[in-house]
Structure 1
Amino acid sequence: MRNRKSGYGKCTDGLQHACPVEVTLDVIGGKWKGVIIYHLLNDTRRFNEFRRLVPGISQRMLTLQLRELENDGIIHREVYNVIPPKVEYSLTQFGQTLSNIIIQMREWGEIYAEQVQTQKTITSI
């Protein structure tokens, strides 16, 4: 794991370490990490596949996010000794434990998007 900020508060009495919710958000939070994990749920991916699947992410940011997820033990980076170089990313066994969370986030996002669309329709009438 990365060296976490020391400013985490305690969200449970008697907890010796940072708030678990804050730690979780530090590992999978942000604009891109959840999306990267989502695209790894059922398949391994190569770097350029991510670039196609997530066109809004810059190459630098994708590299940074992949490295952080790898350092946190969420994804595995497999380098094949071939020319041209081939690198594949997959979820680790520990990373796979996030699948229910990511799927629930997707489902919640679908419901929220529908709610927002319904509100826009109502207010435009």
Structure 2
Amino acid sequence: MEEQKELQPKVEKSFELIGKKWTGLIIYVLMSGPKRFSELNEAIPALSRRLLTERVKELEEHGIVLRTVIPERPIRTEYTLTQKGKELGQILGPITQWAESWIKD
């Protein structure tokens, strides 16, 4: 019982993070590999650029997404999942399967 009380704040914080609109979908898109900002934006067209920037920064702050600047001409920025992000993405996989079975358009 004591262990459960100690775990509750961590679980709550986790649900708070992945429960934010678009966060899970961003992670889902990044599961297929590195993406540039424009590719993320194209993959989730209903998500505004401003909110995409906000969510990606938040995921970066939590160590879930890694932002890499590629010093070519033109300069590119790519986003990839960290190991922490990949593990989270694997957990989101069954939610995707559940959604395919139970969520109607």
**TM class by shorter-chain length?**
0.7 to 0.9
Query: 2 CA distance for matches of 1:51 and 1:29?
Result: 19
User: Aligned to 1:82, which of 55, 72, 75?
Assistant: 72
RMSD of aligned Cα (Å): 1.8
- Distance (whole Å) between structure 2 residues aligned to residue 26 and residue 79 of structure 1: 29
Gaps of 5+ in 1: 1-11, 118-125
SS in 1 for 2:79: strand
TM-score (structure 1 length as normaliser): 0.74
What code does the residue aligned with 2:87 have?
T
CA contact (8 A) 1:75 1:91 kept: yes
Higher helix share: 2
Q: CA shift at 1:112, angstroms?
A: 1.5
Q: Which amino acid in the other structure matches residue 64 of structure 1? A: E
Q: Name the count of aligned residue pairs.
A: 104
Asked if structure 2 preserves the Cα contact closer than 8 Å seen for 1:27 and 1:72, the reply is: no
Structure of larger gyration radius:
1
Percent identity over paired residues: 36
Any gaps of 5 or more consecutive residues in structure 2? none
1:122 counterpart residue number: none
Runs of 4+ in 1 over 6 A off after TM superposition: none
Alignment partner, residue 108 of structure 1: 98
Select the structure with the greater relative contact order (CA < 8 A; seq sep ≥ 6). Answer: 2
